[in-house]
Amino acid sequence: MSFHVQPIGEKKLPRWKRLFKKIYSRKTQWVFFVLLLGVVFWLGTAAVQSGVFGEKAERALSFNPLLTDGHGHTNILLLGVAGEAEEGGNLTDSIMVVSINPEVPSISMLSLPRDLFVSSQIGDRKINEIYASARYHHGDQKGLEIIEDAVSSFTGIDIHYAAVVDFDIFSSSVDLLGGVDIFVPEDIVDPFYPDGRYGYETFVVRKGLQHLDGAMALQYARSRKTSSDYSRAKRQQDLALAIRRKIEANGWIENIEKIREFYDLFSRSINTDISLKEIVALAKIGLSVDFGNSVSAVLSDDPTQMGGFLYTPAQEFYGGQFVLLPESLADTQTFMELVLITPEILLENAQISVLNGTGVSGHAGDTASRLRRIGFHVIDVGNYDATPPVARTFLRVLNDTKAETFEFFRDFYRSERVEVLDLETIDPDNLVDLEIVLGTD
């Protein structure tokens, strides 16, 4: 089989381009990550090995055609829509940014809530409305470009590609895998799950290890009426890992018949601005990903949780709409960059103590809350005995193995003063790796 590369928008498309042509108007969900970066990673590499894509794809493995940012990451925006058969069917119910670091290699994931209010080329609005409106006025491809630009502007992170996938391909893919095994952390009883006939049915799954077929996995990914959007995003991330485990456990990298089944399924359902060469490159990276070096998170309005930077403003200022805004865009972007671009800092899991050297009551507690939302483990809050008050924030290093975290905070506080404590002076039962002594600056 041979392929001739053309832009997606041209009239005559080769077969591999038609593989991705049909999905913008169908039901989709965040679970495109499961499909593209789970099954497709396997499918792409296996297809190359089996000759499904031919010699051109094999040659594509010899170099990396992926677009990257200044950190060497490839960032993909994944969108989920309900489909034109449903009211508001092109609103993006699920939005996720996936960042791939080919050097480690690792994949990090960040889910964005659909009620997030952001700026875009077509005006300020909820993030879930941007693609639908842009697509309606400017077409499929331009719609993707506009939502990519809006997400990039909000996150401060380059977005290189975008993609959409329908619900049917998700459930069919899980069935082709023979179902997946997943641990359900708590009972779900959702009496308001859409039945596809403008009504509802009850979806039930019990706590514990469960085997899910395609239909049930889809319900598990979509159900949200009795839980939050943030809980749903976490369930979807868990499904992604379950699918990847199933592919690896069954050794389907060598199953040519299974490869062709997936190829036929995908050729009917997927559309994206990722080319064949880029799919092959993703496949090569994906099969060697170490998820132990990855971070997944959700941007939310829960101030007690990592990523909980959003709040609800008065609805009268937004046409009566419920929207979410960041309390601090700077801190929100710091959190998003840590998750997607520099997860190695969070993965050091440094134990941090915040000490108040200002004499201002509550300053250490407020700072600890801020750092926890950014993603750090603050295990102790207290006062630093200083007279007069400390003028500039400084750091005290108790464990020099947490170098990435130390460098982050030195830059974060622009701290010129650093004290590296002698190990012999540190209590052997001490759990703190880094002390941040707050100053009046």
Q: What is the per-residue pLDDT across 193-252, written as a single tens digit (0 to 9) for each?
A: 877 666 788 889 999 999 999 889 888 887 776 666 667 767 876 887 788 778 777 766
What DSSP string describes 17-67? HHTTSS-TTS-B-TTHHHIIIIIHHHHHHHHHHHTSS-HHHHHHTTS----
Of 84-93, 111-120, 122-131, 290-299, where does mean pLDDT reach its minimum?
A: 84-93
Band (pLDDT 50/70/90 cuts) for residue 381 is very high
Domains and CATH numbers, the chain: 15-182+215-340 (3.40.630.190), 348-438 (3.30.70.2390)
Residue % of the chain over a pLDDT of 90: 42
Residue 71 has pLDDT above 90, yes or no: yes
Contact 353, 436 (CB under 8 A): yes
Using alpha carbons only, how large is the chain's radius of gyration in Å? Answer: 24
70 pLDDT band (50/70/90 cuts)?
very high
Per the model's pLDDT, the better-predicted residue between 420 and 156 turns out to be 156
Residue 27 pLDDT more than 80?
Answer: no
Kindly report the average pLDDT of the chain as a whole number: 79
SS3 118: strand
Are 142 and 149 within 8 A, CB to CB?
Answer: no
More confident call, 9 vs 141 = 141
Q: Which residue has the higher pLDDT, 354 or 172?
A: 354
Residue 301 or 273, more confident? 301
Within 13 Å and on the Cβ side, how many CA atoms surround 31?
30
Q: Which residues pair with 127 in a beta bridge?
A: none
Q: What is the mean pLDDT of residues 74-86?
A: 75
pLDDT of res. 357: 93
pLDDT band at 289 (very low <50, low <70, confident <90, very high): confident
